[in-house]
Structure 1
């Protein structure tokens, strides 16, 4: 049995990078370390483990913009090629990207891998570059298509409410990237929200978190067709790690408590909402907000 997941321990990451180097860089006489780049800490990593815990295939996803990602460093151990592991990795990364609202993926494929990616619906966009002035690579792209759902209208209404009533949200380009009535994911423009250290400004992380929590309460009310004024009564945030790339803020039923139906009693209600701000798949900040809803 094979298991596909992110590496967790340092030992697993050491295996992960070693396989990457062995397959992709060692045959080109490149030193260890050449298999890594500056985006590792903000990327999404996937590995396939055999039944002994050995890593036999790897791939990585990073985000180029709020709605576009790129797959890189796909490698399968020689003894396990042709067993569908590459396809499993691509599908796992596509699923993760879709869960954040990313709708376009790209990659740079070696010439012999073009047909593999074409079978997975990636289009060959033409020659990209020569790796180490030797290996031809071709750019390939795929649009991740999902059905238009009724609650997409709620997402649009929430985003319009933010931008029309809170000027900062429009300047930050705060956007609903994913909503399925169980979970809400938001994001914002990377360049506008950078500080002098080239990481996301702490105030922008706080603002994105506050609006995401407020947005979750708004969506709960809209689903039930309830009215009320939402106010933030109390909040705290913990910053765990800097965010060097695209930030995604996530919340949902599993991260909130309180009953919106209590609005039917015409009394003030309170809901606690936790928001996790992600860098890749790591939680970079944790926000907890106490929201009051005041009957109109």
Structure 2
């Protein structure tokens, strides 16, 4: 049985890149290593492996602008052509793009792949370039729908609160990309938040993580209200620490998942403070760049 996921070890990335090279570079006598570029660490990668963990298909998503992403390096093993693996990779990358607030995908398709992408909804915009003096590429685009549309109004309300009451969040262009009760993803303008090393400023990372955690508490509290539970309160950060693991150059986003949250709102029903503890991660591509542990109090309103 085949599995679609991200590579998660040095060995898996080695196999992932080897298939990319074998399909996209070797036929034109290009050396191994030529299939990689400077965006690998900040991009999102997906692959399909069989039951023996052999890599069968690969693809990559990178950020172009805050709302535009690019799919690159699509490759399927020669022996697995025509089995829908490429389509599965594309769909997975589109889903990730939508969850990160990307609303348009661009790509450069080889001439023989134009029909494949057109069937998936991509529109050709014209000639792009010729690779190795032989392989013609054409520019294609596709609009991506907003993910979790039913949560959009709550997300917009929360963003308005942030931008109206926390000037830094507005300057950072902090946005909610996705929320479905199990996961919250936020993002900000990585280019604006750069330091002198052209990586994301530590203070901006801390702000992104703090407000991602605050946002989780806000949205889950309002979900309880939607169910008819009379809960309300002011959310404050009581205690926090953050650990920075690696620099962020692009595609930065914050994330909280339900499995990393403890506590509940029950005390509010008795007019007492409620407490929520959680872990928020800030990612650069597939990699966790910072880990934030925070404790939030919800203070009942009189």
- Secondary structure of 1:292's counterpart equals strand
Deviations 1:173-199 (A, max 9, x none): 001111223321110001111111111
For 1:144, the equivalent position in structure 2 comes to: 144
For 1:281, the equivalent position in structure 2 comes to: 286
Contact 2:190–2:250 (Cα < 8 Å) also in 1: yes
- Secondary structure of 1:193's counterpart equals coil
Contact 1:257–1:273 (Cα < 8 Å) also in 2: yes
Deviations 1:17-51 (A, max 9, x none): 11111111122222221100001011111222233
Q: Are residues 1:240 and 2:242 paired?
A: no
For 2:63, the equivalent position in structure 1 comes to: 63
For 1:261, the equivalent position in structure 2 comes to: 266
Contact 2:155–2:176 (Cα < 8 Å) also in 1: yes
Contact 1:43–1:280 (Cα < 8 Å) also in 2: yes
- Secondary structure of 2:101's counterpart equals coil
Segment of structure 1 superposing worse, 139-148 or 74-83: 139-148
Contact 1:58–1:74 (Cα < 8 Å) also in 2: yes
CA distance in 2, matches of 1:248, 1:24: 30
Segment of structure 1 superposing worse, 46-55 or 200-209: 46-55
Deviations 1:128-168 (A, max 9, x none): 12223432111111112257744321111100000000100
CA distance in 1, matches of 2:248, 2:86: 29
For 1:231, the equivalent position in structure 2 comes to: 236
Segment of structure 1 superposing worse, 244-253 or 124-133: 124-133
CA distance in 1, matches of 2:248, 2:11: 24
Q: CA 1:37–1:156 in 2, change beyond 3 Å: closer, same or farther?
A: same
Contact 1:234–1:291 (Cα < 8 Å) also in 2: yes
**Shift of the alpha carbon at 1:257?**
1.3
For 1:93, the equivalent position in structure 2 comes to: 93
Q: Are residues 1:295 and 2:300 paired?
A: yes
Q: Are residues 1:45 and 2:45 paired?
A: yes
Task: Report the RMSD for the aligned CA atoms in angstroms.
Answer: 1.7
> Normalization by structure 2: what TM-score?
0.92
Contact 2:261–2:279 (Cα < 8 Å) also in 1: yes
CA distance in 2, matches of 1:210, 1:88: 35
CA distance in 2, matches of 1:259, 1:71: 40
Q: CA 1:82–1:273 in 2, change beyond 3 Å: closer, same or farther?
A: same
- Secondary structure of 1:283's counterpart equals strand
Q: Which runs of 5+ in 2 are unaligned?
A: 226-230
- Secondary structure of 2:7's counterpart equals coil
CA distance in 1, matches of 2:268, 2:257: 19
Contact 2:148–2:178 (Cα < 8 Å) also in 1: no
CA distance in 2, matches of 1:245, 1:24: 25
Contact 1:151–1:181 (Cα < 8 Å) also in 2: no
> Normalization by structure 1: what TM-score?
0.94
Contact 1:65–1:246 (Cα < 8 Å) also in 2: no
Contact 2:101–2:146 (Cα < 8 Å) also in 1: no
Q: Are residues 1:105 and 2:105 paired?
A: yes
CA distance in 2, matches of 1:83, 1:150: 34
Q: CA 1:167–1:94 in 2, change beyond 3 Å: closer, same or farther?
A: same
**Shift of the alpha carbon at 1:65?**
2.6
